[in-house]
Amino acid sequence: MRRGAISKTALWTIIVIIIVVVVVGGAAAWWYTAIVTKPPVSAVKPAIVGQITIGFANSFSGPLGMFGPEVLTCAQFAVSQINSKGGIYLAHGPNGPGNYTINLVWEDDQTSVSTGPIAVSTLITKYHAVAILMSSDTPIAEAEMPVLHQYKVPGIPFNGAVITSDFPPTKLKPEAETIFHYQAIPLDFGEQTALVLDHMYNVTHHPVRVGVLALSEDFGYESVKTLKSSIIKHGWQDIIKIVDVEYYTTGTTDFHAMLTKLAAKNINALASYSIPSSSAAILQQIPDFPQLRGITYIDQADDDNFAVYDTAGPAANGMIAITPFPENAWTSNATINAQWKIFRGHISHLLKHNAGHIAATAYDAVWILSYAMMDAGSTDGMAITKALEREKVPPIVLTSLLKPTPQGTIFNQFHDTSFEYVWVENYWNATSKSSYQVVIWPPGLATQSPQFGLVGLKP
């Protein structure tokens, strides 16, 4: 079984495991790796005998049109690195054994549930894609799953797509047989929100009354469920009270009616399960309510593009974002910072700005698919699927703090991935008229302690 770009021997001359960081008393192993180019051990390399296609279906237009180009750029960066090393070795490729370069093709899902499945079908039937990088929108990705199941093609979504059929998860949805979720999930965000609120209580010594604003789709519903169940699991019902949950649809920009309800309920914390543009609108409107000034605002940040939050100006001062990969903030760990700096440097050169977690995980996903295809040795969809199920954490640049399963695999039995989460606090610089971010949790990576109760106040 081969597990390497070009060949197993040549791969290890150019890719090495850089670090396994153990944080918080050795309780959690954090895998962090980087590509390192070294002189080849042998000049003999397998010939390039063909090309294989990976499809990319994402939003290049519509409400989420800002995601597609960023995610595509990170995926293209990974493809360029792989192809520059000679592609990937397939023992049983369509043209026989040898190296195959990757051809990345894409289709616009137009941020549409009806268009997404058509885009995926086109990539498979017209371009013969052997794997699909899926939508950044949860409902679209879920609509795409039956198509991938029909053609037995593996797919990786970059959103909170629900691929299990119950809660808490015990089995995969039938249509998710070939889906592998490499992204932060609602189960994690709900749990992390509860942890932030508990820490807020321990610092302020005041019971937490939290209001919730969430998208009216699976991502929002599952996040709220997990927030509630986490509070009960930890026995925090007496110190954390969820006083109201308000759901809204994608594209909502006016939150005054919902904030009016929350302001009347004497909340001191507000949790949001949203996209950055909606969160920015919420933050802009919070100062309109004197009762809400000085609350703690907690946002999940799949794509923590603080340029979006900058539109809220000083109103976003003190907001806390939960993310597996900060877009701008640095940790207290010099090794991690050095590797993130390499990735950010390349991507910011291409995008003219940094990339958040959604885009960054596309980079990882291309490498993960490449290893799985080499493991499978072919372009057969189910063979690649089985390889993904047993895939160990490969020696690649993992832009997020990935936590392998106890068996050392990337994906658990539900095809989900687990990350270590970073809490980032946003501050407003009145002089430069821009925001900056600092890591506040976990203690092993934090550069300062979290502050609470700053949102809506002047910096």
Average pLDDT over residues 349-357: 80
Helices (H), 53-172: 67-84, 115-125, 138-151
Q: Are 162 and 138 in contact (CB under 8 A)?
A: yes
Average of per-residue pLDDT across 131-138 = 92
Which residues are 455's β-sheet partners? Answer: 295
Cis preceding-peptide flag for 459 (omega within 30 of 0): no
The pLDDT, as a whole number, for residue 296 is 96
String of DSSP letters for 354-385: ---HHHHHHHHHHHHHHHHHHHHTS--HHHHH
H runs (alpha helix) in 53-112? 67-84
Average pLDDT over residues 279-301: 91
**Beta-strand pair 48-58/131-133:** parallel
> Phi/psi class of residue 165: alpha, beta or left (left: φ > 0; alpha: ψ in -120 to 50)?
alpha
pLDDT above 70 as % of the chain: 87
One domain for residues 197 and 282: yes
Cα radius of gyration rounded to whole Å, the chain: 22
Decide if 252 is inside a domain: yes
CA separation for the pair 456, 82 (Å, rounded): 46
Local confidence band at 304 (pLDDT 50, 70, 90 cut-offs): low
Indicate whether 335 belongs to any domain.
Answer: no
pLDDT for 305 beyond 70: no
Verify that 123 and 253 share a domain, yes or no.
no
200 lies in the same domain as 272: yes
Flag whether pLDDT at 444 surpasses 70. yes
**Residue 13: φ, ψ to 5°:** -85, -15
Asked whether 277 and 251 are in contact (CB, 8 A), the reply is: no
Whole-model pTM: value is 0.78
- The residue range of the domain holding 156 is 8-184+356-419
Q: What is the mean pLDDT of residues 121-130?
A: 97
Query: pLDDT-based confidence at 446, cuts 50/70/90?
Result: very high
Residue 32's pLDDT is what? 33
Provide the H-helix boundaries in 152-270. Answer: 186-204, 218-233, 256-263
For residue 9, what pLDDT band results from cuts at 50, 70 and 90?
very low
Does 22 score more than 80 pLDDT? no
Other CB atoms within 10 Å distance of the CB of residue 171: 11
Helix (H) or strand (E) holding 341: helix 334-351
Nearest 5°: the CA angle 407, 413, 415 is 110
User: Exposed (0-12), middle (13-18) or buried (19+): which is 238, by Cβ within 10 Å?
Assistant: exposed
Question: For residue 55, which of 326, 369, 302, 318 has the smallest C-alpha distance?
Answer: 369
Asked if the structure places residue 346 within a domain, the reply is no
- Are residues 140 and 62 both part of a single domain? yes
Residue 375 lies in a domain: yes
- State residue 4's pLDDT score: 36
Specify the pLDDT at position 167.
65
Q: How many domains does the chain have?
A: 2
- Is 294 a domain residue? yes
Q: What are the structure tokens assigned to 52, written together?
A: 């294989």
Q: What is the CATH number of the domain that holds 73?
A: 3.40.50.2300
Q: What's the pLDDT tens digit per position in 87-121?
A: 999 999 999 999 999 999 999 999 999 999 999 99
Integer angstrom CA distances of residue 339 from 17, 303, 442 = 12, 19, 19
User: Does residue 210 contact residue 231 with C-beta atoms inside 8 Å?
Assistant: no
| Gap between the Cα atoms of 15 and 8, Å rounded | 11
> Is 22 in the same domain as 143?
yes
Q: What is the average per-residue pLDDT within 404-411?
A: 93
Beta bridge partners of 32: 19
Q: Is the same domain home to 62 and 120?
A: yes
Establish if 235 belongs to a structural domain.
yes
Percent of the chain residues topping a pLDDT of 90: 56
Tell me, yes or no, whether 70 and 166 share the same domain.
Answer: yes
Distance CA 336, CA 396 (A): 14
Beta bridge partners of 15: 35
413-422 tens-digit pLDDT: 999 988 888 9
- How buried is residue 284: exposed, middle or buried, by Cβ count under 10 Å (0-12/13-18/19+)? middle
- Residue 446 within any structural domain of the chain: no
**Are 250 and 226 in a shared domain?**
yes
**What DSSP designation does 46 have?**
P
The better pLDDT of the pair 118, 302 is held by 118
Structure-model confidence comparison of residues 39 and 303, the more confident one? 303
Q: Tokens 């100006």 identify what position?
A: 313
